Structure 1
Amino acid sequence: MISLDTIDRQVLRALSEDATQSASALGRRFGLSQPAMWKRIRRLEEAGVLAGRRLKLDAEALGFGVTVFLGVKLGTKGRVSLEDFERAVRAIPEVQTVEHVLGLYDYRLRVVARDIADFERVLRRRIMTLPGVGDVEANVLLSEERRPGPLG
């Protein structure tokens, strides 16, 4: 585990808010030269603390106004492999995340749809026909607040 100092934590917070910031801009912000900041970022990447930079798409602006979290319990665990289910569910474009979880359900899916009718179509025609699907519970997202994470 890498030891993080105050500047490391500030850099991580800044990048979690906007990963497009340059080493030069971050260096100016935190009182470091561009090469010093670049070395710091590189060290965080090599240690695995920074594991890529992602572009966040606005699903609603793209016409997907409904987000639903699905709890999926596999009904035939002995007959279908987890890999078969995961492979099949990853092929559904409306499914944004697939999380294998411990608890009441085996998987948690984040599904986007244009509206409730579109979600019903995705649920009936795509998700409920997946290999091994048993019980499903849907929770419609009303609002979301993003938190930067536990950076101390």
Structure 2
Amino acid sequence: MTELDDTDRRILRALVADATQSASALGRRLGLSQPAVWRRIRRLRSEGVIAGQRLDLDRERLGFGVTVFLGVKLATKGRVSLDDFERAVSAIPEVQTVEHILGLFDYRLRVVARDIADFERVLRRRIMTLPGVGDVEANVLLSEERRPGPIG
């Protein structure tokens, strides 16, 4: 585990809110020099605390108005390898995340679709035809509040 001081945490909180901020802007905001901020960010990246940067797209504005969480239980765990299932399901563009979980289901998928009819098409033609798929449970996302996660 990487030891973080208060300044590291303040930098991380600021970057979680807006990762496009320059080191210079961050420095002005946090009362640090640009080189000091840049050194800290570089160290946090090299230690793996900052694992990457992502672009947050507005799915609705792109025409994807429905998000569904699918619980998937594999019917034949012995015959179909988990890697094969993960590789096949990851190739479906509407599947945004694939999480191998412990509990009633083996996987939790986040699937986006244009509408419920489009989701049904993805479910029937793509997901249900994957090797080893057994039981499936769908939960439609009604609203979402994003939290930045624990930074300490």
Range class of TM-score, shorter chain: over 0.9
Q: Distance in 2 between matches of 1:57 and 1:117?
A: 22
Give the match for residue 41 of structure 1. Answer: 41
Q: Percent identity of the aligned residues?
A: 84
How far 1:145 sits from its partner (Å)? 0.4
SS in 2 for 1:123: helix
Partner of 1:95: 95
Q: Which runs of 4+ in 1 moved over 6 A?
A: none
* Aligned 1:81-92 pairs, distance under 5 A: 81-92=81-92
Give how far 1:3 is off: 1.3
Cα deviation per residue 1:12-53 (whole Å; 9 max; x = unaligned)? 111111110111110111111111110010111111110011
SS of alignment partner, residue 44 of structure 1: helix
Give the Cα separation in 2 of the matches to 1:34 and 1:60.
37
User: 1:54 and 2:54 equivalent?
Assistant: yes
User: What RMSD over aligned residues (CA atoms) do the two structures have, in Å?
Assistant: 0.6
2:70 aligns with: 70
Q: Give the equivalent residue in structure 2 for 1:145.
A: 145
Structure 2 CA distance, aligned partners of 1:75 and 1:2? 40
**Which ranges of structure 2 fall in alignment gaps of 5 or more residues?**
none
Paired residue for 2:19?
Answer: 19
CA positional deviation for 1:10: 1.1
Quick one: distance in 1 between partners of 2:149 and 2:51?
14
Give the whole-Å Cα distance in 2 for the aligned partners of 1:108 and 1:122: 16
The residue matched to 2:14 in structure 1 has which SS?
helix
Give the corresponding residue for 2:127.
Answer: 127
Q: How many residues align?
A: 152
Deviation for aligned residue 1:6: 1.1
- The two structures have a TM-score, normalised by structure 2, of 0.98
SS of equivalent to 1:122: helix
Deviation for aligned residue 1:127? 0.3
Partners of 1:52 and 1:77 lie apart in 2 by: 33
Q: CA deviation at 1:87?
A: 0.7
